[in-house]
């Protein structure tokens, strides 16, 4: 099955569409015109250790995915977008102009996974300090500890 030129599957009763990075904003805009006017969530996924996951025919697995949950309130429908993002170019267009509520979600995905959202109005870290090295939710990020600093304690 296809929707707007993209593979379409069903996951537990929810439609899932797989646009390419190039199709991403056009498909999201078309879906908004069809009633999917609310972006409920946007997140990143690192599939470093699960590259053989099942995907529809024609979709090549990449290390990263950007997953967007859309909601059509009037018709009580949900739609999920899953966009493959390659490790050697971890970037995708920002959805901010279409769904301004994705601003913080895109920043968090950038901060935790290192996925760059092109034309984002303020793509800066949101959870980690600005001088933090790396992206903690990447599967190859070293496991370690963060020293706890208590106010007034001797360093």
State whether residue 78 is helix, strand or coil.
strand
Is the pLDDT at 127 greater than 90? The verdict is yes
* Ranges of H-type helices in the chain: 24-33, 103-113
pLDDT of residue 149: 63
**Quick one: average pLDDT of 127-140?**
93
pLDDT of residue 148: 63
> Per residue in 3-17, pLDDT tens?
999 999 999 999 999
Q: Return the closest-CA partner of residue 8 out of 82, 85, 86.
A: 82
Global pTM reads 0.90
**Quick one: average pLDDT of 91-116?**
98
Q: Is 66 exposed, middle or buried (0-12, 13-18, 19+ CB in 10 A)?
A: buried
In CATH, the number for domain 2-118 is: 3.30.460.80
Describe the strand order of the beta sheet including 14-17 as a list of residue ranges: 2-3, 6-11, 14-17, 77-85, 64-72, 38-46
Among the ranges given (11-25, 47-61, 101-115, 140-154), the one the predictor scored with the smallest mean pLDDT: 140-154
CB atoms within 10 A of CB 19: 24
């Amino acid at each position: 099955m296809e929707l707007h030129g993209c593979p379409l599957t069903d996951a537990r009763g929810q439609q899932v569409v797989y646009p390419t990075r190039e199709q991403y904003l056009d498909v999201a805009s078309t879906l908004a015109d069809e009633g999917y006017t609310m972006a409920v969530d946007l997140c990143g996924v690192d599939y470093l250790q699960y590259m053989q996951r099942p995907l529809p025919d024609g979709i090549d697995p990449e290390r990263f995915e950007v997953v967007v949950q859309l909601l059509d309130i009037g018709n009580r429908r949900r739609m999920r977008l899953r966009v493959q993002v390659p490790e050697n170019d971890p970037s995708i267009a920002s959805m901010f102009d279409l769904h301004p509520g994705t601003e913080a979600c895109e920043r968090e995905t950038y901060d935790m996974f290192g996925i760059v959202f092109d034309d984002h109005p303020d793509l800066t870290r949101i959870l980690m300090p600005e001088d933090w090295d790396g992206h903690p939710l990447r599967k190859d990020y070293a496991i370690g500890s963060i020293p706890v600093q208590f106010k007034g304690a001797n360093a």
